[in-house]
Structure formats: C-alpha cells, structure tokens
Amino acid sequence: MLRLEARAQPSALMQTAAPLLALAATVVGGGILFLILGKNPFVSIRIIFWDPLFDASLVSYTRPQLLVKAAPLIMIALGLSFGFRAGIWNIGAEGQFVMGALAGSAVGLALHPLEAFWILPLMVLCGIAGGIAWAMIPALLRVYFRTNEILVSLMLVYVSYRILTALVTGPLRSPIGYNFPESRSFHDNPSMHNAELWSGTGIHIGILVAGILVVVCWYVMRRHLFGYHVNLMGQSNKVAGFAGVRINLVIICCLGITGALAGAAGVFEVTGPAGKLSPHFPVGYGFTAIIVAFLGRLNPIGILFAGLLMALTYIGGELAQFILDAPAAAIQVFQGMLLFFLVAADLLVNYRVKLAVPGGLFKPRPAESDAGGKST
C-alpha cells in the first residue's frame, strides 16, 4: 500500500516537476481520448504538440498564431496570479476581458471616422478602466459586505455576455453591416487597428506588452513590498493583518490588477486578431487563463511558458479538427484534463509518497492481521 507523509517544507524540485508530470499524464490521457474517438493517438499527439512548431508547411501560419493566442492568456493569467497567491478567487476574468473590450471599442467607435494616432492608446486606456470597473464590483462587495467573490465574479461573466449581445445588436451595431449583430470592423480604420508590427510575425503591440508585463510582474512579486504582502496574505490572513498589511487594500489591488490586464487584453484582441465585436468574440480565454495561472505555478516566468503551451493546444486542436476531423470540444476536454492532473500532481509538492511495507520497520502491523494473512 502507498502511504502519504507530510513534508516539513514544500519540495522545490516538485514545484517544477509537478507541471511537467501533469503534462506527461495529459499527453497519455489525451492519446487515450483520441483513441476512443477512433483516431490514431500517436498521430493526434504529433499534430497537436509537434506539427504547429516544426512542420515546415504549417509554421508560417502556426508560429505567429502561437504568439497571438498566448498573449491574452498570459496577460490574464499574470493578473489572476496575484489574487490566487493572496487567496482571492477571481474566476470572472472572462467578464473583465469582455467588458474591457466593450469599453475600449465603444470609445473607438464613438470617435469614428476620426483618424488620429492617439485613438488606439485611448481605447486601451478605456479598456483598462472598463476591466477595472467590472472587477471592482466583486472587490468592493467582498471588502464592504464580505460577499463571496467567487460567485459574484462568475455571475458577472454571464452578465457581461448579455451586455455584449445587447450592445452589438443595439448601439454598437455596424451601420453598414446588413443588420448582422456585429460592430464595425476595426481593421478598416487604421487608427483603431491593432496591426501586425512586422508582417508575417503575428506580433502586435499586445504581445510586446504581455512580454514586458512578465518581467514587471516578476519584479513586483519577488522584489516589491506589494508582492510580499500578497504572498503573506496567502500564507495567513491573520498573520498578514498583524504584520500591518492592509488586507482590504490588497484585495482591491489584486482584483483591480486582474481587471486592468484582462481589460487591456480584451482591447488588444478585439482591435487585432478578432477585428470586430460580435457575440462570438469571447472564446473563453478568461477561463483558460485560470489553467495557465495554475500550470505556471502562479509564477510569471512559469505563466509565460504555460501560456505558450496552452496556445499550442489551441492551435494543435484546430489542426486536429482540420486534418483528423476531430471534434472541437476534444481540446477543451484536453485542457480540463490537464488541470485535473495538475491539482493531483500538487500532492507531490507537500507530501512524500511512501511504500508502506507490511511488517516494515517503522509501522509494525497489528498481530491479528498478520495471522489472518497466513491462515488462508
């Protein structure tokens, strides 16, 4: 039988090894999933994990897409990591992403057909404001009324979807769009278009911002007093309170940071890769980012790699759809499985798994069970 033994200190080795183990287990589990779906598991796994990176005929499309998909995931996950470290469970980043995109777009569209260099930056600022405003609802309710932020932030995701639908069928609907529930295309207007900076690379400003934010967040988390307070709160609210941490302020800041980053990511996405607002604009980045944050161990550098990996599964999943005719939902199952294996692998960080030998030195078994074993 296996037996668990608590570690005195979380294992540093396992901190790094656990996500890799989880990934390995997911690859095996994913192979089995594709086998059940009637696909060759080895080919499927190669298509998802290898071809987007190295297949010569695909890389011109897939490598830029990798960055395009990873950027919003990384930005949102960086924001989430502060809250998750402090024990604040904002799971409504999806709503903050949508409201950011809406706020930014609304301002941009209101200025149409004006052309000026400052329009896109202004849209990003408004997106940040929109994201923060949406995140402040659970934050302030939590601080002033101790309302559960998990449920409030999640409910607000559904509210944001409905508001998006209401606006694209109402005030923000494109006047030249034949009554489709869509906004004007941001690509048609150079001052609102978050264009590729270098042709063929897929890199837009949002991707550069995501890269810079990784470094900034690493600094704040490791070197700045705020990061220390966040970590202290995660250890114990009480201790943090005694040590003079202003807990309510940290809660507001953590949710505000997530809202700001998710809102900015929303504007970059809608003005760049998505191109316009429509009810299909949200594709669940805000939820996948939760997996990214955990997979990256709530560590900015880890989140960078986790975001790229998750983007890889998105693109690999698309390829599997085209090439193997695999269902789109398979990749969602895949991502869910990854999170399952990840929370399971976390066991190894805080516990040692020991083989409990019957009649061993450290744990002598009761006599009667021994006798029972021999008599049969």
Site for other proteins in 122-141 (CB under 8 A): 137, 141
Tally Cβ neighbours within 10 Å of residue 126: 21
DSSP 115: -
Q: 358: part of which helix (H) or strand (E)?
A: none
Cα separations (Å) of 172 from 131, 163, 182, 266, 330?
A: 18, 11, 8, 16, 34
Residue from 10, 118, 162, 223 binding other proteins (CB under 8 A): 162
- Least Å distance between CB 167 and other proteins? 8
Q: Shortest gap between Cβ of 88 and other proteins (angstroms)? A: 11
Q: Which is nearer to other proteins, 59 or 339 (CB)?
A: 339
Sorted by sequence, the CB contacts under 8 Å of residue 129 that are 6+ apart come out as 103, 263
- The CB-of-117 to other proteins minimum distance in angstroms stands at 35
Sign for the CA dihedral angle at 331, 332, 338, 340 comes to negative
Give the single-character DSSP code of 343: H
| Residue 210: both structure tokens together | 């995501």
- For residues 160 and 174, which CB has a smaller minimum distance to other proteins in the complex? 160
Q: Min. distance of Cβ 365 from other proteins in angstroms?
A: 15
User: Taking the CB of residue 315, how many other CB atoms lie within 10 A of it?
Assistant: 23
Query: Is residue 125 within 8 Å of residue 267, measured between CB atoms?
Result: no
Of the candidates 276, 301, 306, 291, the one whose C-alpha atom is nearest the C-alpha of residue 337 is 291
Query: Where in 288-347 is the site for other proteins (CB under 8 A)?
Result: 290-291, 294, 327-337, 339-340, 342-344, 346-347
Q: Which of 54, 158, 180, 219 binds other proteins (CB under 8 A)?
A: 158
Give the residue among 285, 275, 312, 103 at the shortest CA–CA distance from 196.
275
Nearest approach in angstroms of CB 223 to other proteins is 27
CA–CA distance, 307 with 333 (Å, rounded to integer): 17
Q: Which is nearer to other proteins, 116 or 151 (CB)?
A: 151
Q: Which stretch binds other proteins (CB under 8 A): 162-170, 182-190, 238-246, 258-266?
A: 162-170
- Binding other proteins (rule: CB under 8 A), the pick from 152, 233, 265, 270 is 152
> Binding to other proteins by residue 150, rule CB under 8 A?
yes
Residue from the set 1, 6, 56, 355 that interacts with other proteins by CB under 8 A: 6
Q: Which residues bind other proteins (CB under 8 A)?
A: 4, 6, 89, 91, 137, 141, 145-148, 150-152, 154-159, 162-163, 165-166, 169-170, 287, 290-291, 294, 327-337, 339-340, 342-344, 346-347, 350-351
